[in-house]
Structure 1
Amino acid sequence: MPKAYWITTYRSISDEAKVAAYAELAGPALRAAGGTFLARGLPAHAFESGALERTTLIEFDSVDAALAAHETPAYQEALRALGDGADRDLRIIEATP
C-alpha cells in the first residue's frame, strides 16, 4: 500500500494565537495517529502561480491512515482550537508507487 502525504497551506492567518493553539494540539495528535512531519514553514522559493504560504507536509502509511488521523477526537479538538484563525487548504495525496 502506498504512503500518503497530508499537505496543508495557509492562505491567510487572521489570528496567530489560534494557529499556535491548533499547532500545540495538532502536532501530538497527528504523530499519535502515525504521521511523520517531513517539512513545515515558509517555502524557500515559489514559482509559476506558487505562493509563499506557510506549508506543512506530513507522511502517513496510507490514505486511509491519513483520513483516520483527521477524524480522531484529538485532531478534531485541534480544529476547534483553530476555529476561524486561518484560511487553509488541506490535501491528502497518495504517493506514486
Structure 2
Amino acid sequence: MKFLDRLLGRKEASPAEAEVAEPDCPHVALVPFWDSAEDIGVHEKISRYECESCKAAFTREQGEQIRVEGAERLRLSEKDRRDRLAE
C-alpha cells in the first residue's frame, strides 16, 4: 500500500506536534532607560526599564516593583539556604 500512497501523492498523517510551554521570564536583568543624556544616572528621572532576557518594556513604577520583588525573592532564598546549612 505504501507504493500506491506514494504514487498517488498521499501523505501519512504526521503526528501532532507537542506544544512546548515557554517558561515565564523572571525579569531579573532589568536595564533602566532615560529620556535624555543629561538625566543618565539620576534615579528619579528613569523613564522605563527593559528586560535583557525577553526584551519586555516596563514603566518606571512597574520596573521598580519588579526589582523589589526580585530582591525579596533573593533574600528569601538566601535565608532558606542559611537555614539548611544550620541544620
Q: TM-score range by the shorter chain?
A: under 0.3
Structure with a larger share of its residues in helix = 2
TM-score relative to the length of structure 2: 0.25
